[in-house]
Protein backbone atom coordinates (compact mmCIF):
# COMPACT_ATOMS: atom_id res chain seq x y z
CA UNK A 1 0.00 0.00 0.00
CA UNK A 2 1.23 3.49 -0.82
CA UNK A 3 2.06 5.87 2.05
CA UNK A 4 0.66 9.44 2.21
CA UNK A 5 3.83 11.54 2.21
CA UNK A 6 2.46 14.96 3.20
CA UNK A 7 2.70 14.52 6.97
CA UNK A 8 5.96 12.57 7.10
CA UNK A 9 9.02 14.25 8.64
CA UNK A 10 12.36 13.96 6.78
CA UNK A 11 13.57 11.03 8.89
CA UNK A 12 10.29 9.22 8.45
CA UNK A 13 10.56 9.60 4.68
CA UNK A 14 14.07 8.10 4.72
CA UNK A 15 12.89 5.36 7.07
CA UNK A 16 9.79 4.38 5.16
CA UNK A 17 11.72 4.14 1.90
CA UNK A 18 14.84 2.61 3.51
CA UNK A 19 16.92 5.27 1.75
CA UNK A 20 20.66 4.80 1.73
CA UNK A 21 21.36 8.48 2.43
CA UNK A 22 19.49 10.36 5.12
CA UNK A 23 19.81 13.67 3.31
CA UNK A 24 17.54 12.33 0.59
CA UNK A 25 14.66 12.34 3.07
CA UNK A 26 15.41 16.01 3.70
CA UNK A 27 15.43 16.73 -0.04
CA UNK A 28 12.13 14.97 -0.61
CA UNK A 29 10.55 16.72 2.40
CA UNK A 30 11.62 20.07 0.99
CA UNK A 31 10.19 19.31 -2.46
CA UNK A 32 6.88 18.15 -1.06
CA UNK A 33 6.49 21.00 1.42
CA UNK A 34 7.31 23.59 -1.23
CA UNK A 35 4.37 22.32 -3.22
CA UNK A 36 5.98 20.04 -5.79
CA UNK A 37 3.33 17.37 -5.93
CA UNK A 38 4.59 15.40 -8.96
CA UNK A 39 7.52 13.19 -8.05
CA UNK A 40 8.93 13.38 -11.59
CA UNK A 41 9.55 17.11 -11.08
CA UNK A 42 11.92 16.55 -8.14
CA UNK A 43 14.83 17.14 -10.44
CA UNK A 44 17.74 16.76 -8.03
CA UNK A 45 16.77 13.14 -7.31
CA UNK A 46 17.89 10.26 -9.50
CA UNK A 47 15.38 8.84 -11.97
CA UNK A 48 15.47 5.58 -10.07
CA UNK A 49 14.63 7.28 -6.77
CA UNK A 50 11.82 9.24 -8.40
CA UNK A 51 10.36 5.97 -9.65
CA UNK A 52 10.55 4.54 -6.12
CA UNK A 53 8.72 7.59 -4.77
CA UNK A 54 6.03 7.14 -7.39
CA UNK A 55 5.60 3.49 -6.45
CA UNK A 56 5.58 3.95 -2.68
CA UNK A 57 4.26 7.41 -1.83
CA UNK A 58 1.22 9.45 -2.75
CA UNK A 59 -0.75 12.65 -2.20
CA UNK A 60 -4.27 11.69 -1.21
CA UNK A 61 -6.30 14.86 -1.92
CA UNK A 62 -7.27 16.23 -5.29
CA UNK A 63 -8.24 19.73 -6.34
CA UNK A 64 -11.89 19.69 -7.38
CA UNK A 65 -12.21 23.36 -8.30
CA UNK A 66 -10.99 26.85 -7.50
CA UNK A 67 -13.01 30.02 -6.98
CA UNK A 68 -11.33 33.42 -7.02
CA UNK A 69 -13.14 36.41 -5.51
CA UNK A 70 -12.92 39.97 -6.79
CA UNK A 71 -10.73 40.83 -3.75
CA UNK A 72 -8.22 38.10 -4.69
CA UNK A 73 -9.41 35.60 -2.09
CA UNK A 74 -9.07 32.07 -3.37
CA UNK A 75 -11.17 29.13 -2.24
CA UNK A 76 -10.17 25.59 -3.09
CA UNK A 77 -12.68 22.80 -3.05
CA UNK A 78 -10.74 19.66 -2.26
CA UNK A 79 -11.80 16.08 -2.76
CA UNK A 80 -10.57 13.56 -0.18
CA UNK A 81 -9.91 9.87 -0.72
CA UNK A 82 -13.33 8.86 0.59
CA UNK A 83 -14.98 11.38 -1.75
CA UNK A 84 -15.75 13.84 1.08
CA UNK A 85 -15.17 17.48 0.20
CA UNK A 86 -13.48 20.14 2.26
CA UNK A 87 -12.42 23.71 1.60
CA UNK A 88 -9.28 25.74 2.11
CA UNK A 89 -8.98 29.49 1.61
CA UNK A 90 -6.09 31.78 0.76
CA UNK A 91 -6.27 35.42 1.83
CA UNK A 92 -3.77 37.95 0.52
CA UNK A 93 -3.61 41.31 2.27
CA UNK A 94 -2.57 44.70 0.91
CA UNK A 95 1.08 44.04 1.73
CA UNK A 96 1.05 40.77 -0.15
CA UNK A 97 1.08 38.72 3.05
CA UNK A 98 -0.55 35.38 2.43
CA UNK A 99 -2.63 33.57 5.03
CA UNK A 100 -3.94 30.05 4.60
CA UNK A 101 -7.24 29.27 6.30
CA UNK A 102 -7.33 25.51 6.78
CA UNK A 103 -9.97 22.94 7.73
CA UNK A 104 -9.48 20.25 10.36
CA UNK A 105 -12.73 18.29 10.03
CA UNK A 106 -15.21 17.49 7.28
CA UNK A 107 -18.18 19.36 8.77
CA UNK A 108 -18.35 20.19 12.47
CA UNK A 109 -20.27 18.68 15.36
CA UNK A 110 -20.30 21.70 17.66
CA UNK A 111 -23.54 23.16 16.35
CA UNK A 112 -22.99 26.90 16.78
CA UNK A 113 -26.22 28.62 15.84
CA UNK A 114 -24.74 31.17 13.43
CA UNK A 115 -22.31 28.93 11.54
CA UNK A 116 -22.87 27.25 8.24
CA UNK A 117 -20.29 24.51 8.80
CA UNK A 118 -22.05 23.72 12.07
CA UNK A 119 -25.27 23.04 10.18
CA UNK A 120 -23.57 20.22 8.29
CA UNK A 121 -22.86 18.16 11.39
CA UNK A 122 -19.61 16.26 11.74
CA UNK A 123 -18.69 13.83 9.02
CA UNK A 124 -15.22 12.97 10.25
CA UNK A 125 -11.89 14.22 11.53
CA UNK A 126 -9.26 14.89 8.90
CA UNK A 127 -6.04 12.88 8.96
CA UNK A 128 -2.88 14.88 9.56
CA UNK A 129 -1.85 14.44 5.93
CA UNK A 130 -5.21 15.78 4.76
CA UNK A 131 -4.64 18.92 6.81
CA UNK A 132 -1.13 19.33 5.35
CA UNK A 133 -2.28 18.63 1.80
CA UNK A 134 -4.58 21.68 1.86
CA UNK A 135 -1.50 23.80 2.46
CA UNK A 136 0.46 21.98 -0.25
CA UNK A 137 -2.26 22.62 -2.82
CA UNK A 138 -2.26 26.31 -1.88
CA UNK A 139 1.54 26.60 -1.94
CA UNK A 140 1.70 24.73 -5.22
CA UNK A 141 -0.75 27.15 -6.83
CA UNK A 142 0.12 30.45 -5.17
CA UNK A 143 3.65 30.28 -3.72
CA UNK A 144 4.99 30.80 -0.22
CA UNK A 145 2.53 31.30 2.62
CA UNK A 146 3.46 33.27 5.71
CA UNK A 147 0.56 32.72 8.13
CA UNK A 148 -1.88 29.97 8.95
CA UNK A 149 -5.23 30.19 10.70
CA UNK A 150 -7.23 27.12 11.61
CA UNK A 151 -10.53 28.81 10.95
CA UNK A 152 -11.86 26.70 8.12
CA UNK A 153 -14.23 23.82 8.63
CA UNK A 154 -14.36 22.07 11.97
CA UNK A 155 -13.20 22.40 15.56
CA UNK A 156 -9.39 22.07 15.76
CA UNK A 157 -9.30 20.94 19.39
CA UNK A 158 -11.62 18.02 18.62
CA UNK A 159 -8.82 16.75 16.35
CA UNK A 160 -5.81 17.78 18.40
CA UNK A 161 -3.46 14.87 17.63
CA UNK A 162 -3.70 15.38 13.88
CA UNK A 163 -3.57 19.14 14.26
CA UNK A 164 -0.41 18.75 16.32
CA UNK A 165 1.31 16.73 13.65
CA UNK A 166 0.26 19.13 10.90
CA UNK A 167 1.62 22.10 12.88
CA UNK A 168 4.90 20.23 13.46
CA UNK A 169 5.24 19.82 9.70
CA UNK A 170 4.41 23.49 8.97
CA UNK A 171 6.88 24.62 11.63
CA UNK A 172 9.76 22.42 10.42
CA UNK A 173 12.67 24.56 9.16
CA UNK A 174 13.33 22.16 6.29
CA UNK A 175 9.86 22.92 4.91
CA UNK A 176 7.70 26.03 5.33
CA UNK A 177 9.36 26.98 8.64
CA UNK A 178 6.40 28.99 9.90
CA UNK A 179 6.85 30.20 13.47
CA UNK A 180 4.21 29.43 16.10
CA UNK A 181 3.30 33.08 16.47
CA UNK A 182 2.16 33.08 12.86
CA UNK A 183 -0.16 30.15 13.40
CA UNK A 184 -3.55 30.67 15.08
CA UNK A 185 -5.79 27.91 16.35
CA UNK A 186 -9.37 29.06 16.71
CA UNK A 187 -11.61 27.12 19.09
CA UNK A 188 -15.10 27.38 20.48
CA UNK A 189 -13.50 26.47 23.84
CA UNK A 190 -12.76 22.78 24.43
CA UNK A 191 -11.28 23.33 27.88
CA UNK A 192 -9.36 20.06 28.55
CA UNK A 193 -7.69 20.34 25.15
CA UNK A 194 -6.66 23.91 25.87
CA UNK A 195 -4.78 22.61 28.91
CA UNK A 196 -3.36 19.82 26.77
CA UNK A 197 -2.01 22.42 24.33
CA UNK A 198 -0.59 24.49 27.18
CA UNK A 199 1.24 21.42 28.56
CA UNK A 200 2.24 19.63 25.40
CA UNK A 201 2.13 22.22 22.64
CA UNK A 202 2.03 23.36 20.01
CA UNK A 203 2.32 26.85 21.50
CA UNK A 204 0.59 28.64 18.67
CA UNK A 205 -1.67 31.62 19.17
CA UNK A 206 -5.13 30.75 20.42
CA UNK A 207 -8.34 32.47 19.39
CA UNK A 208 -11.50 31.78 21.36
CA UNK A 209 -14.85 32.12 19.63
CA UNK A 210 -16.28 33.92 22.61
CA UNK A 211 -19.20 35.51 20.72
CA UNK A 212 -20.62 36.85 23.99
CA UNK A 213 -19.62 36.76 27.66
CA UNK A 214 -23.27 36.53 28.72
CA UNK A 215 -23.52 32.91 29.92
CA UNK A 216 -27.16 32.33 29.01
CA UNK A 217 -26.83 33.79 25.54
CA UNK A 218 -23.53 32.01 24.93
CA UNK A 219 -25.07 28.64 25.78
CA UNK A 220 -27.69 29.32 23.13
CA UNK A 221 -25.27 30.43 20.44
CA UNK A 222 -22.29 28.20 21.22
CA UNK A 223 -23.54 24.89 22.68
CA UNK A 224 -20.00 24.00 23.87
CA UNK A 225 -20.63 26.57 26.61
CA UNK A 226 -23.02 24.15 28.29
CA UNK A 227 -20.15 21.71 28.82
CA UNK A 228 -17.43 24.25 29.42
CA UNK A 229 -18.81 27.36 31.14
CA UNK A 230 -17.16 30.73 30.82
CA UNK A 231 -15.32 30.65 34.13
CA UNK A 232 -13.58 27.36 33.27
CA UNK A 233 -12.84 28.60 29.79
CA UNK A 234 -11.30 31.78 31.14
CA UNK A 235 -9.16 29.82 33.62
CA UNK A 236 -7.86 27.70 30.74
CA UNK A 237 -7.01 30.83 28.73
CA UNK A 238 -5.22 32.33 31.72
CA UNK A 239 -3.23 29.14 32.12
CA UNK A 240 -2.33 29.12 28.43
CA UNK A 241 -1.29 32.73 28.62
CA UNK A 242 0.87 32.09 31.67
CA UNK A 243 2.58 29.15 29.97
CA UNK A 244 3.17 30.77 26.60
CA UNK A 245 3.16 34.53 27.21
CA UNK A 246 0.93 34.92 24.19
CA UNK A 247 -1.88 37.38 23.82
CA UNK A 248 -5.25 35.70 23.37
CA UNK A 249 -7.64 36.64 20.59
CA UNK A 250 -11.32 36.81 21.49
CA UNK A 251 -13.54 36.48 18.45
CA UNK A 252 -16.91 38.18 18.51
CA UNK A 253 -19.07 37.33 15.53
CA UNK A 254 -21.39 40.31 15.66
CA UNK A 255 -25.06 39.40 15.26
CA UNK A 256 -27.30 42.41 14.92
CA UNK A 257 -29.65 42.86 17.88
CA UNK A 258 -28.41 39.64 19.52
CA UNK A 259 -24.94 40.08 20.99
CA UNK A 260 -24.33 43.76 20.32
CA UNK A 261 -26.41 45.02 23.26
CA UNK A 262 -25.18 47.22 26.10
CA UNK A 263 -25.26 44.24 28.48
CA UNK A 264 -23.05 42.23 26.11
CA UNK A 265 -20.50 45.02 26.17
CA UNK A 266 -20.69 45.12 29.95
CA UNK A 267 -20.19 41.38 30.40
CA UNK A 268 -17.37 41.40 27.83
CA UNK A 269 -15.52 44.15 29.70
CA UNK A 270 -15.93 42.19 32.93
CA UNK A 271 -14.74 38.97 31.30
CA UNK A 272 -11.46 40.33 29.93
CA UNK A 273 -9.20 41.26 32.89
CA UNK A 274 -6.64 40.05 33.79
CA UNK A 275 -6.35 38.36 30.39
CA UNK A 276 -4.22 40.16 27.79
CA UNK A 277 -6.37 40.08 24.70
CA UNK A 278 -7.13 41.48 21.34
CA UNK A 279 -10.80 41.41 20.46
CA UNK A 280 -11.49 40.46 16.88
CA UNK A 281 -14.85 41.72 15.68
CA UNK A 282 -16.28 39.71 12.82
CA UNK A 283 -19.46 41.07 11.29
CA UNK A 284 -21.68 38.03 10.79
CA UNK A 285 -21.57 36.67 7.26
CA UNK A 286 -24.98 35.62 6.04
CA UNK A 287 -25.33 31.96 5.35
CA UNK A 288 -28.20 30.11 3.75
CA UNK A 289 -30.94 28.90 6.11
CA UNK A 290 -29.51 30.72 9.12
CA UNK A 291 -31.63 33.53 10.37
CA UNK A 292 -29.51 36.23 11.92
CA UNK A 293 -28.98 39.76 10.69
CA UNK A 294 -25.65 41.26 9.82
CA UNK A 295 -24.79 44.52 11.58
CA UNK A 296 -24.37 47.64 9.46
CA UNK A 297 -20.89 49.18 9.21
CA UNK A 298 -21.92 51.95 11.61
CA UNK A 299 -23.17 49.41 14.18
CA UNK A 300 -19.87 47.55 13.92
CA UNK A 301 -18.02 50.81 14.38
CA UNK A 302 -20.07 51.70 17.44
CA UNK A 303 -19.30 48.36 19.09
CA UNK A 304 -15.65 48.76 18.22
CA UNK A 305 -15.42 52.30 19.55
CA UNK A 306 -16.92 51.30 22.87
CA UNK A 307 -14.19 48.73 23.30
CA UNK A 308 -11.46 51.13 22.21
CA UNK A 309 -12.75 53.69 24.70
CA UNK A 310 -12.48 51.09 27.44
CA UNK A 311 -8.84 50.57 26.47
CA UNK A 312 -9.25 47.20 24.76
CA UNK A 313 -7.19 46.33 21.67
CA UNK A 314 -9.56 45.65 18.78
CA UNK A 315 -9.25 44.44 15.23
CA UNK A 316 -12.02 44.10 12.76
CA UNK A 317 -11.86 41.17 10.42
CA UNK A 318 -11.96 42.40 6.92
CA UNK A 319 -14.80 40.96 4.95
CA UNK A 320 -12.97 38.99 2.39
CA UNK A 321 -14.14 36.21 0.20
CA UNK A 322 -17.84 36.81 0.72
CA UNK A 323 -18.65 36.73 -2.97
CA UNK A 324 -17.36 33.16 -3.17
CA UNK A 325 -18.75 31.99 0.18
CA UNK A 326 -15.16 31.84 1.37
CA UNK A 327 -15.58 34.06 4.39
CA UNK A 328 -15.72 32.80 7.96
CA UNK A 329 -18.59 30.49 8.69
CA UNK A 330 -19.53 30.21 5.06
CA UNK A 331 -17.40 27.20 4.41
CA UNK A 332 -19.80 24.45 3.68
CA UNK A 333 -19.70 21.93 0.92
CA UNK A 334 -22.96 20.24 0.36
CA UNK A 335 -21.99 16.64 0.57
CA UNK A 336 -24.47 14.16 -0.88
CA UNK A 337 -23.67 11.77 1.96
CA UNK A 338 -25.00 14.28 4.46
CA UNK A 339 -28.28 15.04 2.78
N1 LIG B 1 -14.35 25.84 15.14
C2 LIG B 1 -13.45 26.90 15.36
C3 LIG B 1 -12.75 27.37 14.11
C4 LIG B 1 -13.58 27.42 12.85
S5 LIG B 1 -14.80 28.69 12.81
C6 LIG B 1 -14.14 28.04 16.10
O7 LIG B 1 -15.36 28.03 16.22
O8 LIG B 1 -13.45 28.93 16.55
C9 LIG B 1 -13.78 30.10 12.49
C10 LIG B 1 -14.38 31.43 12.93
O11 LIG B 1 -15.52 31.75 12.12
C12 LIG B 1 -14.87 31.41 14.36
O13 LIG B 1 -14.44 32.56 15.03
C14 LIG B 1 -16.38 31.44 14.21
O15 LIG B 1 -16.99 32.02 15.33
C16 LIG B 1 -16.53 32.27 12.95
N17 LIG B 1 -17.83 32.13 12.26
C18 LIG B 1 -18.61 31.05 12.17
N19 LIG B 1 -19.71 31.33 11.44
C20 LIG B 1 -19.61 32.62 11.04
C21 LIG B 1 -20.42 33.48 10.23
N22 LIG B 1 -21.54 33.06 9.67
N23 LIG B 1 -19.99 34.75 10.04
C24 LIG B 1 -18.83 35.18 10.56
N25 LIG B 1 -18.02 34.41 11.31
C26 LIG B 1 -18.41 33.14 11.56
FE1 LIG C 1 -17.89 24.41 14.50
FE2 LIG C 1 -16.52 26.67 14.80
FE3 LIG C 1 -18.74 26.59 13.27
FE4 LIG C 1 -18.94 26.41 15.93
S5 LIG C 1 -18.18 28.18 14.74
S6 LIG C 1 -20.00 25.12 14.44
S7 LIG C 1 -17.12 25.24 16.43
S8 LIG C 1 -16.83 25.51 12.89
Specify burial of residue 295 (Cβ count, 10 A radius: 0-12, 13-18, 19+). buried
pLDDT band, residue 70 (cuts 50/70/90): confident
Active site residue 81: no
Query: Which of 9, 37, 59 finishes a domain?
Result: 59
**pLDDT value of residue 213:** 98
Question: Do residues 225 and 110 share a domain?
Answer: yes
What is the C-alpha to C-alpha distance for residues 162 and 168, in angstroms, rounded to an integer?
10
Residue-number span of the structural domain to which 51 is assigned: 1-59
What sections of 186-275 are H helices per DSSP? 191-200, 215-221, 224-227, 230-244, 262-271
pLDDT band, residue 71 (cuts 50/70/90): confident
pLDDT band, residue 338 (cuts 50/70/90): very low
What's phi and psi for 208, nearest 5 deg?
A: -105, 130
Question: Do residues 213 and 124 share a domain?
Answer: yes
Nearest CA to ligand 2 atom 8: 154
pLDDT band, residue 323 (cuts 50/70/90): low
Question: Do residues 221 and 174 share a domain?
Answer: yes
Question: How many Å lie between the centroid of ligand 2 and the Cα of residue 329?
Answer: 7
Active site residue 266: no
| CA-wise closest residue to 29 among 187, 174, 127 | 174
Question: Do residues 73 and 122 share a domain?
Answer: yes
User: What is the average per-residue pLDDT within 83-98?
Assistant: 93
**pLDDT value of residue 61:** 98
Question: Do residues 26 and 105 share a domain?
Answer: no
Which of 191, 329, 331, 332 should be mutated for ligand 2, with most atoms under 8 A from CB?
Answer: 329
Ligand nearest, relative to CA of residue 280: 1
Helical (H) or strand (E) element with 118 = helix 116-120
Question: Do residues 52 and 100 share a domain?
Answer: no
Query: Which of 27, 59, 91 finishes a domain?
Result: 59
pLDDT exceeds 90 at position 320: no
Q: What is the pLDDT of residues 272-301, one digit of tens each?
A: 999 999 999 999 999 888 999 999 999 999
Question: Do residues 7 and 78 share a domain?
Answer: no
Which of 115, 163, 283 should be mutated for ligand 1, with most atoms under 8 A from CB?
Answer: 115
Q: What is the pLDDT of residues 145-156, one digit of tens each?
A: 999 999 999 999
Question: Do residues 276 and 206 share a domain?
Answer: yes
Q: CA-based angle 85:87:89, to the nearest 5?
A: 165
pLDDT exceeds 80 at position 327: no
User: What is the average per-residue pLDDT within 125-133?
Assistant: 98
Question: Do residues 173 and 260 share a domain?
Answer: yes
Domain count, the chain: 2
Question: Do residues 184 and 72 share a domain?
Answer: yes
Query: Which of 40, 59, 78 finishes a domain?
Result: 59
CATH number at residue 89: 3.20.20.70
Give 291's contacts (C-beta < 8 A, 6+ positions apart). none
Can you tell me which atom of ligand 1 is nearest the CA of 286?
22
Nearest CA to ligand 1 atom 9: 151
Question: Do residues 31 and 47 share a domain?
Answer: yes
What is the C-alpha to C-alpha distance for residues 87 and 65, in angstroms, rounded to an integer?
10
**pLDDT value of residue 316:** 87
Nearest CA to ligand 2 atom 4: 112
CATH number at residue 47: 1.10.150.530
Question: How many Å lie between the centroid of ligand 1 and the Cα of residue 84?
Answer: 21
User: What is the average per-residue pLDDT within 104-122?
Assistant: 96
Nearest CA to ligand 2 atom 6: 118
Nearest CA to ligand 1 atom 8: 187
Question: Do residues 26 and 126 share a domain?
Answer: no
Ligand nearest, relative to CA of residue 211: 1
Question: How many Å lie between the centroid of ligand 2 and the Cα of residue 24?
Answer: 41
Question: How many Å lie between the centroid of ligand 2 and the Cα of residue 154?
Answer: 6
What is the C-alpha to C-alpha distance for residues 28 and 26, in angstroms, rounded to an integer?
6
Give percent above pLDDT 90 in the chain: 89
Mean pLDDT of the chain: 93
Q: What is the pLDDT of residues 205-248, one digit of tens each?
A: 999 999 999 999 999 999 999 999 999 999 999 999 999 999 99
- pTM exceeds 0.75: yes
Amino acid sequence: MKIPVASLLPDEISGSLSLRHKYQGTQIFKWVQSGTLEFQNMTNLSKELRRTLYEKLYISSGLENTLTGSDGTVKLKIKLEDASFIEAVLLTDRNGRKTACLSVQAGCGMGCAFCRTGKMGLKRNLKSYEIVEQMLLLVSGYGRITNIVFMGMGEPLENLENLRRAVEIFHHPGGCGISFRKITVSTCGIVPKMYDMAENGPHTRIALSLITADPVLRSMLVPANRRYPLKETKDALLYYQKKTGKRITLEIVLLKGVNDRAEDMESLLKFIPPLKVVVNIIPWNPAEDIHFKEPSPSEVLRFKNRLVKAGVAVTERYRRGRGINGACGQLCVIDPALK
